């Protein structure tokens, strides 16, 4: 700690340490040292006592084990029949049971009977019987001595006793050993350890508590300081008291002077021999004497001392309720009084500049920024303030660099003490045609100008005689005008007027006005540039969004798009008609604002349009879009500055929600790439937020989490509401609160999509949205079942004609006889192809919508290709004929198989296309693709 803290000895740690010393808690204080010493001594004594007691207990336990082991061994060795058993043919059979019973009865860990050469006849571990005991046994075998020892070896360390067994003839016929294992001795000692530690802890607590009481008493007497600190404090007290530029008097309870520092003697004219005199004998002012004798407190009271004015403060030296002296401090304010007025003005100007930096430029709107400048200046600097800006600046354009263009401006802001002012209102054109006016002079000079007396401003009066006369009659008497300059270019100008304030503007006001105008000009220029970029981004955004929704019969659609006030973002929506009378509904959001976000949105919208022509499910389309986004980001990251450009211009962070609705079945398939799911409003007004697999935002890569599609079955009249998060989130509202408000707004049955859009924005839109808002409301429709015809087709050439004839009958029923030939031709070609080259099942479906849609589905994934047959080819013209007769055609793949579709224009007046002569329809069935 010392090594690491050495370099920072003057930091906060050092201050904290000195604070601890003053509180008496540091070890450098006398009280702290005494406490630490007593606690240390107590700790050492208790630790020594615990150590001695522990080892004494261990020795006592070991000694007890020796005595007990020797007594058991001697008792067993001298037991009747033991000597005879040792010379018997099988000593183990006669002695093992007796030895174990004796061991259990006496509580020793083992009893072993040995032969004279040390081989075990009995043992508590039977596997050791027959094995020779280890250790030196000569004392028992040779000398016939009984003894105890601390044995260390196999099988266990133990305190054991060895006793020879002597027969009636005095011959040693064997030995008996018994003992207690060292491990059990240690366990017995450790059982006493908690009690020993508890007793030691109690003793330590008592010792430390006693030391704390002694230290506390000592701390009170020494105030927590040691001798060195007390001496140093006295020296510092003396040095500070006589060096400060503030007079100090200390008066005792008897109102006699105890101490006066050098500054007090100088200010009051006191001499060194005046100490111990009564305050009334010091020659002080009567008010000062009365204050010292009263014993009351005072703060910055002004008292006279000769020709000086002193600011006097008095505080008692002891707490209230006790007879106390007092301390009086004083400082000379004679010169300060003369500077107070100017200092107050300067302080006010600095405060006003600070407020201007906070209040001007809060909205990035040119007009509002000019209004903030006028509001800041009134009334603390001027009685009236006007701001005029050039017309290009108001539109967000670059201001003209030439000076003649600056002679005409638009009044943008006006603020004043009274509403009945004579100045031209906001919106008027202000001209400075006369070069000698203060405004024209300031513009040509490029800095602020003061007209202290307006009545003498001939140029100003010549510019507008009638208006000048009204202003002078109103009381306008002084003007300060300053051009608003940013990057060396004039944006406009600010004029400050005084009417009620009697003092005119002076030269000292110029620097303040220029500083104020400079800050405002920067804010106005920022707002102007933001206005230009915002206008460009809005124009780009709106040009990239759909202007007119395509005609389709699947849903009734209404939409809203609102750019953010702080900057256009990358929100978009789309309605894309798909084959089979289906429709795709799309919303997306690009992270960020400005031109780049709008351009990125256009790229993604174009990509979605292109991928939608593949007619793949929503999850597959998002997979293609994610892959394309990743490739774009990878290409933009190439090069030396690629990573920075990717961070700035990459698409990563975009989200998209793609839904396909089929009016023939009422099924809606939805997939999301990190975008909030839609709201579903049932015809009875119930509102649900279906759970979708959210997926990752575009550009992050699919990895192990591919996009997943969710299928919904929607009754007719349901509303599918797609939106971006800007609709829900705002400064004072989180996502859950926004969802709750949206739910309550949508839960209104019998509302059209247009009314639903209006209700949602009225409830959720804030005055200044932080993010773009895209809202798309689609009310579902179902195709009339009478306008849908379906047939199963057997995979045999003979099955084509019946289906073709049934289709012709259905067209006649629908009143489409004019399309019969074309429809039969298209169906013949498509069905024949499915029968010959497809797989079961083969189905045919006719949809009568805005167009006649012919669909032939089969279980094969092989797609036909359009080709031009040669004159000698017998086949290959079928798909060419379909392409010529159909408005458009294509292939759609499903989970199993494919669907080939063709759309025919509905209209009796439509002329059939000119195609090569074809054989009859039955003959077409024999043609190959």
| Paired tokens of 69 | 């082991």
pLDDT score for 638: 54
Burial class (CB in 10 A: 0-12, 13-18, 19+), 660: buried
Distance CA(67)–CA(78), nearest Å, equals: 17
pLDDT score for 660: 96
Burial class (CB in 10 A: 0-12, 13-18, 19+), 293: middle
| Residues 249 and 264: beta-carbon distance below 8 Å | yes
Whether omega for the bond prior to residue 841 falls within 30 degrees of 0, making it cis, is yes
Distance CA(537)–CA(600), nearest Å, equals: 12
| Residues 694 and 626: beta-carbon distance below 8 Å | no
Distances, alpha carbon 724 to alpha carbons 108, 155, 315, 538, 674, in Å: 86, 81, 67, 17, 11
| Residues 414 and 425: beta-carbon distance below 8 Å | yes
| Residues 813 and 594: beta-carbon distance below 8 Å | no
pLDDT score for 311: 87
Residue 788, φ and ψ in degrees, nearest 5 = -125, 130
| 56-65, 69-78, 236-245, 535-544: range with lowest mean pLDDT | 535-544
Distances, alpha carbon 118 to alpha carbons 113, 166, 171, 341, in Å: 9, 15, 16, 116
pLDDT score for 568: 61
Q: Which are the contacts of 381, defined by CB distance < 8 A and separation ≥ 6?
A: 349, 352, 496, 509, 512, 513, 516
Distances, alpha carbon 128 to alpha carbons 32, 110, 443, in Å: 65, 12, 118
Distance CA(32)–CA(34), nearest Å, equals: 6
Percent of the chain with pLDDT over 90: 21
pLDDT score for 239: 75
Distance CA(350)–CA(342), nearest Å, equals: 12
Distance CA(415)–CA(374), nearest Å, equals: 6
- Residue 674's nearest CA partner among 700, 648, 640, 713 is 700
- Tell whether the model's pLDDT for residue 33 goes beyond 70: yes
- Tell whether the model's pLDDT for residue 875 goes beyond 60: no
Tens digits of residue pLDDT in 202-233: 777 777 777 777 777 777 766 666 667 767 77
Q: Which are the contacts of 46, defined by CB distance < 8 A and separation ≥ 6?
A: 200, 203, 204, 207
47-50 — which CB contacts under 8 Å span 24+ positions? 47/200, 49/200, 49/203, 50/196, 50/197, 50/200
Average pLDDT over residues 510-519: 90
| 192-196, 278-282, 463-467, 682-686: range with lowest mean pLDDT | 192-196
- Residue 719's nearest CA partner among 675, 665, 668, 787 is 668
| Residues 782 and 714: beta-carbon distance below 8 Å | no
H helix intervals, 2-29: 2-5, 12-22
Distances, alpha carbon 72 to alpha carbons 78, 92, 155, in Å: 10, 19, 20
- Tell whether the model's pLDDT for residue 916 goes beyond 70: no
- Tell whether the model's pLDDT for residue 15 goes beyond 90: no
Scan for tokens 């004497």, then name that residue: 289
What is the full DSSP assignment across 320-332? TTS---EEEEEEE
Distance in angstroms between the alpha carbons of the first and the last residue of the chain: 91
| Paired tokens of 585 | 């509904």
3-state helix, strand, coil in the chain (%, to 5): 45, 20, 35
| Residues 326 and 337: beta-carbon distance below 8 Å | no
Distance CA(902)–CA(829), nearest Å, equals: 11
Distance CA(101)–CA(617), nearest Å, equals: 88
What sign results for the dihedral spanned by CA atoms 440, 444, 447, 449? Answer: negative
Whole-structure pTM value: 0.52
| Residues 516 and 376: beta-carbon distance below 8 Å | yes
Tens digits of residue pLDDT in 372-425: 999 999 988 999 999 999 988 988 888 877 555 467 899 999 999 888 889 999
């Amino acid at each position: 700690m010392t090594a690491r803290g050495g370099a920072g000895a003057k930091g906060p740690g050092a201050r904290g340490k000195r604070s601890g010393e003053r509180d008496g808690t540091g070890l450098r204080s006398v009280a702290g040292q005494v406490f630490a010493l007593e606690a240390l001594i107590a700790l050492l004594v208790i630790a020594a006592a615990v150590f001695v007691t522990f080892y004494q207990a261990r020795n006592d336990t070991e000694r007890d084990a020796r005595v007990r082991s020797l007594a058991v061994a001697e008792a067993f060795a001298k037991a009747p029949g033991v000597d005879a058993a040792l010379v018997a043919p099988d000593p183990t059979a006669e002695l093992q049971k007796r030895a174990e019973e004796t061991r259990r009865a006496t509580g020793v860990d083992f009893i072993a009977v040995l032969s004279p050469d040390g081989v075990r006849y009995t043992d508590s571990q039977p596997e050791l019987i027959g094995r020779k005991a280890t250790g030196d046994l000569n004392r028992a075998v040779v000398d016939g001595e009984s003894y105890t020892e601390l044995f260390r070896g196999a099988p266990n360390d133990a305190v054991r006793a060895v006793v020879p067994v002597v027969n009636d003839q005095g011959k040693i016929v064997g030995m008996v050993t018994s003992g207690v294992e060292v491990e059990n001795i240690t366990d017995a000692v450790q059982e006493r350890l908690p009690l020993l530690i508890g007793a030691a802890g109690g003793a330590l607590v008592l010792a430390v508590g006693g030391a704390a009481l002694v230290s506390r008493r000592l701390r009170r007497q020494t105030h927590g300081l040691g001798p060195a600190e007390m001496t140093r404090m006295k020296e510092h007290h003396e040095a500070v008291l006589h060096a400060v530029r503030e007079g100090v008097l200390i008066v005792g309870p008897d109102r006699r002077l105890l101490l006066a520092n050098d500054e007090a003697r100088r200010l009051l004219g006191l001499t060194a021999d005046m100490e111990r005199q009564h305050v009334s004998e010091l020659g002080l002012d009567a008010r000062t004497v009365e204050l010292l004798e009263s014993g009351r407190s005072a703060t910055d009271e002004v008292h006279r001392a000769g020709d000086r004015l002193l600011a006097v403060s008095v505080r008692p030296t002891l707490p209230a309720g006790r007879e106390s002296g007092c301390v009086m401090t004083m400082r000379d304010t004679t010169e300060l009084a003369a500077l107070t007025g100017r200092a107050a003005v300067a302080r006010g100007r600095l405060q006003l500049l600070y407020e201007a930096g906070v209040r001007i430029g809060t909205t990035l709107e040119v007009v509002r920024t000019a209004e903030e400048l006028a509001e800041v200046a009134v009334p603390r600097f001027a009685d009236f303030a006007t701001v005029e800006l050039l017309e290009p600046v108001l539109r967000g354009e670059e201001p003209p660099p030439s000076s003649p263009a600056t002679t005409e401006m638009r009044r943008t802001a006006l603020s004043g003490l009274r509403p009945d002012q004579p100045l031209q209102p906001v919106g008027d054109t202000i001209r400075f045609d006369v070069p000698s006016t203060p405004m024209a002079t300031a513009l040509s000079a490029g800095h602020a100008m003061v007209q202290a007396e307006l009545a003498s401003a001939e140029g100003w009066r010549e510019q507008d005689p009638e208006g000048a006369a009204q202003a002078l009659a109103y009381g306008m008497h002084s003007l300060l005008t300053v051009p608003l300059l940013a990057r060396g270019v004039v944006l406009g100008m600010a004029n400050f007027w005084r009417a009620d304030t009697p003092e005119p503007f002076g030269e000292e006001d110029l620097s303040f006005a220029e500083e104020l105008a400079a800050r405002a000009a920067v804010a106005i220029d920022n707002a102007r540039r933001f206005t230009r970029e915002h206008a460009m981004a809005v124009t780009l955004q709106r040009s990239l969004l759909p202007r007119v929704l395509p005609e389709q019969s699947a849903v009734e659609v209404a939409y809203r798009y609102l750019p953010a006030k702080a900057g256009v973002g990358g929100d978009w929506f789309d309605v894309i008609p798909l084959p089979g009378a289906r429709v795709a509904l799309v919303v997306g959001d690009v992270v960020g604002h400005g031109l780049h976000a709008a351009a990125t949105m256009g790229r993604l919208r174009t990509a979605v349009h292109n991928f939608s022509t593949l007619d793949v499910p929503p999850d597959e389309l998002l997979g293609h879009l994610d892959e394309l986004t990743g490739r774009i980001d990878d290409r933009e990251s190439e090069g030396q500055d690629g990573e920075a450009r990717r961070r700035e211009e990459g698409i990563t962070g975009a989200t998209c929600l793609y839904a396909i609705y089929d009016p023939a079945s009422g099924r809606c398939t939805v997939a999301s790439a990190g975008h909030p799911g839609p709201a579903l409003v049932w015809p009875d007004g119930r509102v649900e937020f279906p759970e979708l697999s959210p997926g990752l935002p575009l550009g992050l890569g699919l990895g192990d989490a591919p996009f997943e599609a969710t299928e919904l079955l929607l009754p007719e009249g349901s509303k599918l509401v797609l939106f971006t998060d800007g609709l829900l989130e705002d400064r004072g509202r989180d996502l859950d609160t926004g969802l709750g408000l949206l739910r309550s707004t949508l839960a209104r049955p019998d509302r059209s999509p247009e009314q639903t859009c209006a209700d949602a924005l009225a409830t959720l839109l804030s005055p200044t949205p932080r993010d773009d808002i895209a809202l798309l409301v689609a009310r579902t429709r179902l195709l009339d079942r009478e306008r849908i015809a379906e047939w199963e087709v057997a995979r045999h050439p003979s099955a084509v004609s019946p289906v073709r004839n049934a289709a012709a009958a259905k067209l006649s029923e629908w009143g489409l006889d004019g399309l019969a030939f074309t429809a039969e031709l298209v169906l013949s070609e498509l069905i024949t192809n499915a029968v010959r080259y497809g797989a079961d099942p083969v189905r045919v479906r006719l949809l009568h919508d805005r167009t006649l849609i012919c669909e032939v589905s089969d279980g094969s994934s092989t797609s036909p290709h359009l080709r031009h047959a040669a004159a000698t080819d017998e086949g290959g013209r079928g798909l060419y004929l379909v392409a010529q007769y159909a408005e458009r055609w294509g292939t759609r793949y499903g989970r199993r198989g494919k669907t080939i579709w063709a759309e025919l224009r509905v209209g009796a007046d439509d002329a059939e296309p000119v195609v090569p002569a074809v054989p009859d329809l039955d003959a077409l069935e024999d043609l190959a693709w």
